[in-house]
Amino acid sequence: MGRLRLPMPEPARRRDGLWQHTCFEAFLRPDACDAYFEFNFAPSGDWAAYRFGNRREQRSSPDLRPPLLSFARHPVYTELTADVSIATLPGLATTAAIHAGLSAVIETDDGQLSCWALAHRGERPDFHDPATFTLRVVRA
């Protein structure tokens, strides 16, 4: 944990390229749909949100109110909590189930990046691969 490179907390802002440093990501796809959303959250408080019509295609930035983020560093783990309102996001608000891929890009003090996810397919990590959206959340 002592080797993690973490940015200092700042006023939260929407920003691209968060995956180039320590960043936590969530990919959410409505059931029976090719379109999906990508959310990026940095320990600094910065965030990003994208909608894709298909795998890595038709990218847009959905209108979304800033998520509520909290980050804590503990002796043996770090914790990031993100509260995102999906009520206005097409498909997510009304679907019976959401397929999710959770991942992280971790930067160490020497600038090296490693990719972590619930699942990896292939030789190189590809968080956009629908086969890695292995967590299924069902509406109660």
CATH number at residue 111: 2.60.40.1190
Radius of gyration of the chain (CA): 15
> Do the domain assignments include residue 49?
yes
> Do the domain assignments include residue 4?
no
| CA-wise closest residue to 54 among 38, 67, 69 | 38
Domain count, the chain: 1
pLDDT, tens digit only, all 140 positions of the chain: 888 898 877 888 999 999 999 999 999 999 989 999 999 999 999 999 999 999 889 999 999 999 999 998 888 888 999 999 988 888 898 999 999 999 999 999 999 999 999 998 888 889 999 999 999 999 87
> Do the domain assignments include residue 38?
yes
> Do the domain assignments include residue 29?
yes
Supply the pLDDT for residue 90. Answer: 83
> Do the domain assignments include residue 72?
yes
> Do the domain assignments include residue 7?
no
| CA-wise closest residue to 30 among 96, 125, 75 | 96
Q: Decide: residue 49, CB within 10 A, 0-12 exposed, 13-18 middle, 19+ buried.
A: buried
Q: Which domain holds residue 100?
A: 18-138
